[in-house]
Structure 1
Amino acid sequence: MEAFTTHTGRAVPLRRSDVDTDQIIPSDWLKRIERTGFGAGLFSQWRADPGFVLNKPVYSGATILLAGPDFGTGSSREHAVWALQDYGFKAVISARFADIFRGNALGNGLLPVVLAAATIEALTDQVEADPTTAITVDLGAREVRAPGLVAGFELDDFTRWRLMEGLDDVGLTLRQQDAITAFEATRPGWLPVTA
């Protein structure tokens, strides 16, 4: 997993609330066996509409998603996080996330930032007025910065450390590789058998 410390990028203003994982990545995309390539399916039903925000060239290459409240509700599919990352998003900012989506995002290195709805509205207005607006998500300082705006966000110390170190569950386990190897060396050479 890629370490996340500070990211500065442009944002996409997604003025929709209650966005569920079926809308983020429709179920017909779940047949893939790879973890990559899901970006093409991100919001694919909405992207069929030429006026959808991701189809606007001014937001091409944006790396931060400004979302409405209750983002990531619905099923527990990790594919929703993979699709957002594969498309190029590094962080999603919303007033509220579904718990399972938030857990999947943090476990895969996509930073879900919770800010007050009024702050997101101010950021969205700013980005819509000037799509070149740079937004910085600073995990070390636990704050989001944009011209004329600084907003703090909460994230527990352990999760923050994991993201800054780029450690998923496998990475955490591999940090104990010497202890695991030492333990395995002390195990008996035989193992029980079943009849």
Structure 2
Amino acid sequence: MKPLTRHDGLVVPLDRANVDTDAIIPKQFLKSIRRTGFGENLFDEWRYLDHGEPGQDCSKRPLNPDFVLNRPELSGASILLARANFGCGSSREHALWALEQYGFRVFIAPSFADIFFHNSFKNGVLPIVLAPEEIDQLFEQARACRTLELSVDLEQQTVSNMDSTIVYRFDVDPFRKHCLLNGYDDVALTLQRADDIRRFEARQLERYPWLSETF
């Protein structure tokens, strides 16, 4: 998992509440068991004018010019600004994969669905909860300048605009912060105890040698 310490990025202001995982990645794209290839179908039903199916060449599909993700000046954006209860609905982790594969590293909202919130950290993406009035201010800035850029400092736990005239603080669980700063996913955390695991296995085989038998 790629470490996240400080992230500067362009903001996509998705001014909708209760965005569910079926909107983030529609059900027809969940057939794949691979963790790749979901980014081009992110927000598929909002992003394109036609109905999407797996395997389509998305470069030839008609784009919805009214959807914020299709604004040319927001190409390459990596921070998603949203309203309350972002990521609600089913627990599909594909929604996180689609967002991360599109290029998002940070989500900012007044609240997140619980499972989505926890899955974000496991996929190396930082979900930031700010007060509703702070979210309103960020949407106002995004409307005013059209291309809002923010700087997110995980070590200092701050969100600021590029000239630091506005700075917001956010809370984050210390353990999750440690994992993001170092790029540790669940596998990497387990491998840190690899020597202990090997010693335990060796002791178990000494006590119960039949465990090594194959049938």
TM-score tier by shorter-chain length is over 0.9
Question: What's the counterpart of residue 13 of structure 1?
Answer: 13
Structure 2 segments unaligned to the other structure (5+ residues):
49-63
Identity %: 50
Question: What's the counterpart of residue 182 of structure 2?
Answer: 165
* Aligned structure 1 segments of 4 or more residues deviating by more than 4 angstroms: none
The structure with more radius of gyration: 2
Question: What's the counterpart of residue 74 of structure 1?
Answer: 89
- Give the partner amino acid of 2:35: R
Q: Secondary structure at the match of 1:72?
A: coil
**Matching of residues 134-153 of structure 1 within 5 Å:** 134-146=149-161, 147=163, 148-153=165-170
Q: Secondary structure at the match of 1:113?
A: strand
Instruction: Note the C-alpha offset of 1:133.
Output: 3.0
Structure 1 segments unaligned to the other structure (5+ residues):
none
**Matching of residues 3-152 of structure 1 within 5 Å:** 3-48=3-48, 49-146=64-161, 147=163, 148-152=165-169
Cα distance in 1 for residues equivalent to 2:147 and 2:67: 18
After superposition, the Cα gap between the structure-2 partners of 1:181 and 1:192, relative to the gap in structure 1 and judged at 3 Å, is closer
Question: What's the counterpart of residue 196 of structure 2?
Answer: 179
1:85-133 deviation line (CA, Å, top 9, x unaligned): 0000000100000000001111111110000111112112212222333
Instruction: Note the C-alpha offset of 1:192.
Output: 8.7
Give the TM-score normalised by structure 1: 0.95
Matched, 1:190 2:210: yes
Aligned length: 194
Give the TM-score normalised by structure 2: 0.86
Cα distance in 2 for residues equivalent to 1:182 and 1:168: 23
- Give the partner amino acid of 1:52: F
Out of 116-125 and 7-16, give the one that drifted further: 116-125
Q: CA RMSD in A?
A: 1.6
Check conservation: 1:63, 1:91, Cα contact below 8 A: yes
Q: Secondary structure at the match of 1:167?
A: coil
Cα distance in 2 for residues equivalent to 1:103 and 1:2: 17
